[in-house]
Each structure stands twice: as structure tokens, then as C-alpha cells.
Amino acid sequence: MSLRDRTTTESTSASTTPVRVEETLVSELATPARTRPFTGQEYIESLRDGREIWIHGERVKDVTTHPAFRNTVRMLARLYDALHDEKRNSILCTETDTGSGGYTHKFYRAPRNVEELIGTRDAIAEWARVTYGWMGRSPDYKAAFLATLGADPDFYEPFQENARRWYKKAQEEVTFVNHAVVNPPVDRNKELGEVRDVYMHVEKETDGGLIVSGAKVVATTCTLTHYSLVANNGALPVKDKDFALVCIVPTDSPGFKLFCRPSYEMAADAIGSPFDYPLSSRLD
Amino acid sequence: MFLYGDIDKANKLFPRTGFLPRFMFQGCTRLAVKFDFIAGLLLKGIEATGAKDFRGVQAQVGEVLAWRNLFWGLSDAMARTPSPWASQYVLPNLDYGMAYRVASNIAYPRIREIVQNVMASALIYLPSHAKDFKVPEIRKYLDQFVRGSNGYSAVERVKLMKLLWDAMGTEFAGRHELYERNYFGNHENIRIECLMVADKIGHSAKYKGFAEQCMAEYDLDGWTVPDLINPDEL
């Protein structure tokens, strides 16, 4: 059985009706690899896909124009534009170590010494200033994990080639990955394996990959990402094989459903103006 | 897919891969930038209300700046005292990262409390909407009665206070506090893990040894070391 990146997330809801997904789910393999970071406009375009987002009782048709998300999308686009801005490029970026000959945000590359760490810190700070410090899950956040894939790929044996491939890909395009690692606060008094109706776990192994079902909570900003890292984190240890899964899932994967809290951005537009809600109207 | 079926590795993913200290490094630096922003708003706020020369207010604002300095210091320390990682790579210092986690859990609500104490009703005394300033009939009252001190016009004052309210008072702001307090896990885990790590890497034993060094210098009969003088003659 080939497990190479064929994981399917059947649902992030508490759905109990498995929907088997047959088609190839690795969209990035079908398109040519990027060798430089997204621009702001390219980032915005990249969000126009089949992602399934629900808010206020409706499915979002286009996250880049929907009033619940549109200005937050544009603030995130500023981050990508900053990478290509001559004045800020030297603070934010360094050359890739993947052989692509391009540049990347410094935190996407594994550091070798204090000097590189200080440069990385300054890049994180400079990017945070673009959103005045209010974007808790900017793309560099997940670079905290993504660069580990290149520094120590052998930890992931027998999937070390996946680790190397993702280190290269993420670095070259400054992929926006977030994570969904926390189980919902349901039955906190029980072992993980006793809450299979809610917590995410592998339901079925197939030749095409794994069928996964269950819900995760606080997947901050996942609506505006390219991918989500799915894993388990919490006070309770994993004791069962079907909970021992770490994978990356494209945000537009079939069956991957995102259920949103109310949008402060949309509320700000409805009852105020940018003058009245200058942060929540664009950094929600 | 990076891992499947290996229960041991699944449980070690975050502690073993280097993710945690890097996550702390990014989170601390981002939070330090956010505190720069909040500090700037607060410094402008006390100008706009005329409270900036009060000793009590200065003490409170000084504390906000101290918190801001602490997080920049921790970010700096994480970068400048790295730990070896796989191959030729280095990781930000984990001890200072864990200190950031606990400190942020205390600092964020504290800063929000200070802003509310210092700004008080200035965050309440606000017109409903930008449109209010567009109505000639009430504009003159707003210009007069909501004017700021130290050269702040009514529009400048209200613009500032609404931004500060969105940062520290609105539902969005409240959610941010909840978010920052739990940013790195619940309030117990972030503390317990400091202890677990110290136990595991031998720091706890070192600290206990340091305390025992002091206790070994005396017993029921007085000093056990040659250089100190027993109180026999008193």
C-alpha cells in the first residue's frame, strides 16, 4: 500500500457518515512547482479554489470577496508583497538552500548559527509589523514546523522523502500552512480512543491512502491557508494506531470542511466603518 | 504524510522535532511587536486625555514598557543562546521560550487591565460611528466636548480611542486575550512543562544541589565549614 501523501480528510466535522474519496488528492503534484514565493496577488488568486467554508448558515463561494474575509485576505497578501519589496527583501528574505536559486522568508530555512537566528528573528518581527502584531497565525508561524522537515528528515522515516520534499516546496513558495492539532473540548475526562465519534482518527486504510474522520478545534486562519497540518497535540497521549497520524492536507480537499465562528470583519462593516473598527475590520 | 501508525513517534512529534522552541521563538517575537503597538497606543492615549504627567499613570505605563522589554529580551536570548539541533543546525533556546509562554499568560491580561485602569472612561466616551462627525448639527458639540488634550482634536482623539478600544475592549479584543492566554496551550500545561523539562534534562537536580550546598554548611551543632565563626561566645 502506498501511503505517500494520499491521505484524505473525510471531514473535520463530527460527521458519522464516511464519504470515501477516490480521486487523486495531491493537487500540488499536478501543477508545476513554484520556484519563488507567491506575490500578494498570486496569494489571493490561490485561495480561489473549491475550499468548503461555512459561515452564517451559508457556504462561502469566494473567500477573497466574501465580506467576512476579504480585508483579512488583503492584509495577508501584504505579507507576500513585502517579500518582493526591494526595501524589505533583505530583512525578510535569504537565499534558499534547496538549490532553486531563489529566495525565501528566513524562517522557512533551518538556521545554522546565532547570526542566522538573529536575522530570522528580525524577519519574523518585520513581517509581524505588517499586521501590527495582530495576525496570530501568519504563514511564518508554521515555518516553525516546516523547517524541521529539512533539518531532521530522518525522524520521519519511512516518510523521510516526504519531509525533504515539503521542506523544499514550502521554502521555495513560502507556502501558507496552518495546523489542526487540538481535539474539541468534548469528553475531556476520557481517553482519546473513547471519543472516536468526535476526535479525528483513521477510519480506513485503502490502496489510495487513508480515510480520516473527525473534528479539530482552533484551526486559526485555516480558511485562508493553502494546507493544514493534521496531528494530535494535548495532555493525553496517543495509545492507538488510528490516532498516530501526522499529515498535510490541502485546504480544498474534498471532505475537508471548515466551520467558522462569527466574523468580526463582517460585523465591523455592518455596524461601523474602518474609523470605528480599524483592527477587527481587517485582521480578524 | 509524515507519520502513520508509530505511536511513540506521534507522541514525540512536537517535543522531538524542534518545532516547539521554533514555535516559541516566532510567537514571542510576534507578541513583542504587538506589545510595541499597544504601548504606542497607550502612550498616545495618556497624551490625548491629559493624564500623562500623573505619577500613578506613569508607573502603570512604565510597567507596560517593562513587559514589552521582557519579551524582546526573551526573543533576543532565544536567538543568542541557541542549542545544537540535527546536523549543522541550531535551535532557539528552549528555557527562554518556555519562560515566554508563562510570562505571556500573565502579561496579556495584565496589560489589558492597565489600559483599562489608565484610560478608564476615555474608552467609553466615544460617539457611535464615523458618520456622527459628518452631521453639522452635532459636529460642533463633538469638536468641543470630546476634544483631546495636548493638541489632539476631537477627531484625532476619537480615532485613537476607537483603535485602542478595538485592540483592548471589543469582542475581537476579548477574543485576542483568550487567544494569547491559550496561545501555547492551557494555563496549566505551559507551567507543568517547564517542570517536566527541568526534571528531564537535569536542571531540577542541579537546582536542588545548589540548595543542598547551602544546607550542607551547617547542622544542629552550627557551621560545618571552616571559614565561618560559630556563635559560641554569645
What single DSSP character describes residue A199?
B
Instruction: Supply the pLDDT for residue A219.
Output: 86
Nearest to A147 among B13, B22, B167 (CB): B22
In this prediction, residues A156-174 reach a mean pLDDT of: 96
DSSP characters for chain B? Answer: --EES-HHHHHHHHHHHSHHHHHHHHHHHHHHHHHHHHHHHHHHHHHHHT-TT-HHHHHHHHHHHHHHHHHHHHHHHHHHS-EE-STT-EE--HHHHHHHHHHHHHHHHHHHHHHHHHHGGGGTS--S-GGGGG-HHHHHHHHHHT--STT--HHHHHHHHHHHHHHHTSHHHHHHHHHHHTBTB-TTHHHHHHHHHHHHTTHHHHHHHHHHHHHTTEETTEE-STTSPP-TT-
The string of pLDDT tens digits covering residues B134-170 is 999 999 999 999 999 999 999 999 999 999 999 999 9
The string of pLDDT tens digits covering residues A143-156 is 999 999 999 999 99
Nearest one of A264, A69, A68, A268 to B129, comparing CA atoms:
A268
Instruction: Supply the pLDDT for residue A4.
Output: 38
In this prediction, residues B46-75 reach a mean pLDDT of: 98
Instruction: Supply the pLDDT for residue A8.
Output: 39
Considering the domain delimited by A8-271, tell me its CATH architecture: Orthogonal Bundle (1.10)
Between B182 and B160, residue with greater pLDDT: B160
Is the per-residue pLDDT at B44 higher than 50? Answer: yes
From A113, which residue of chain B is nearest by alpha-carbon distance? Answer: B90
Which SS3 state, helix, strand or coil, does residue A180 take? strand
Is the per-residue pLDDT at A29 higher than 80? Answer: no
Instruction: Supply the pLDDT for residue A31.
Output: 53
Q: CB B88: neighbour CB atoms within 10 A?
A: 11
pLDDT bucket at B14, cuts 50 / 70 / 90: confident
Angle formed at CA B171 by CA B23 and CA A176, multiple of 5 degrees: 35
In one-letter notation, the amino acid at residue B49 is T
Instruction: Supply the pLDDT for residue A6.
Output: 38
Q: Name chain B contacts of A161, Cβ cutoff 8 Å.
A: none
From B80, which residue of chain A is nearest by alpha-carbon distance? Answer: A114
Instruction: Supply the pLDDT for residue B227.
Output: 97
Q: Name chain B contacts of A246, Cβ cutoff 8 Å.
A: 1-4, 10, 13
For residues B101 and B190, the answer to whether their CB atoms sit within 8 Å is yes
Residue A95 forms beta bridges with which residues? A103
Is the per-residue pLDDT at A177 higher than 60? Answer: yes
What value of ipTM does the predicted structure carry?
0.94
- Report pTM: 0.91
Instruction: Supply the pLDDT for residue A18.
Output: 35
Nearest to A125 among B33, B86, B130 (CB): B33
pLDDT bucket at A160, cuts 50 / 70 / 90: very high
Residue A29 corresponds to which cell in the numbers above?
503534484
Between A4 and A143, residue with greater pLDDT: A143
How large a percentage of chain A has pLDDT more than 70? 88
Assigned superfamily of B7-206: Butyryl-CoA Dehydrogenase, subunit A, domain 3 (1.20.140.10)
pLDDT bucket at A10, cuts 50 / 70 / 90: very low
Instruction: Supply the pLDDT for residue A33.
Output: 63
Is the per-residue pLDDT at A9 higher than 80? Answer: no
Interchain pair A264, B172: CB under 8 A: yes
Which SS3 state, helix, strand or coil, does residue A212 take? strand
Is the per-residue pLDDT at A26 higher than 80? Answer: no
Q: CB A244: neighbour CB atoms within 10 A?
A: 22
Q: Name chain B contacts of A244, Cβ cutoff 8 Å.
A: 3-7, 9-10
Q: Name chain B contacts of A280, Cβ cutoff 8 Å.
A: 166, 170, 172
Between B104 and A237, residue with greater pLDDT: B104
Ranked by mean pLDDT, which of A7-11, B7-11, B75-79, B180-184 comes out on top? B75-79
Residue A105 corresponds to which cell in the numbers above?
522568508
Is the per-residue pLDDT at B104 higher than 50? Answer: yes
Interchain pair A151, B87: CB under 8 A: yes
